[in-house]
Every structure is written in structure tokens, then in C-alpha cells.
Amino acid sequence: RKFVCMQENCRKAFKRYEHLKRHFLTHTGERFFQCSMAGCGKMFARLDNLKQHYKTHEWNSMTKRTTNNEKDDKVQVFDARVSNILHLVEGNNYY
């Protein structure tokens, strides 16, 4: 491994320079990417971490929606779609 972190008590080694640069942010604490969701504002050193974080907002909004009665409606629509697909596969077209 060619690229070694020179921070005191670290000495982690990486095969690629860009991996060393990415690692170095753990020592500096720099965070360039901020979540733009209302009321959040969390900061991340890496864009891929921010993208992963956005998925938590998607998950939270999904679970909030399903706590209402929308969950039952979605299940019924899904059941109807599956039922129609099964009928088509079995050769029973009810359209």
C-alpha cells in the first residue's frame, strides 16, 4: 500500500490516493455536504453519505404515511394488481 496517513497514532494505508484523501476528512472534521430537508441540516464529509442519509427521510415519510389509513388503501390496490396479474398468467382475463 503506497499511501499512508501521516496523522499521529493513525498510519492507515491505502492503495489509492483518493482513498487517503477521503480518510483524511475523518481527522479534520470538515463537512461540505448539508442535508436540505426542512428541519434537518445534518452535515456530511462525503456526498455518498449525504445520499444515504436522504434515504432515512424517504423511509420516515413512508412510515408516517402508512400510519394513516393510507396503508390499508395501498394494500388493497396492491392486492388488486396481484390478483389481476395472477388471472392473466392463468389465462383468465377479467378485463
pLDDT computed for residue 63 by the predictor: 60
Write the pLDDT tens digit of every residue in 1-32: 799 999 999 999 999 999 999 899 889 889 99
Q: How many CB atoms lie within 10 A of CB 41?
A: 9
Rounded CA-CA distance 8/19 in Å is: 18
Rounded CA-CA distance 85/78 in Å is: 11
Indicate if the pLDDT at residue 86 is higher than 50. no
Provide the β-strand partners of residue 34. Answer: 43
Write the pLDDT tens digit of every residue in 55-80: 888 876 666 655 555 544 444 444 44
Q: To which residue does cell 392486492 refer?
A: 79
Just give the CATH number of 1-30: 3.30.160
| Domain range list for the chain | 1-30, 32-95
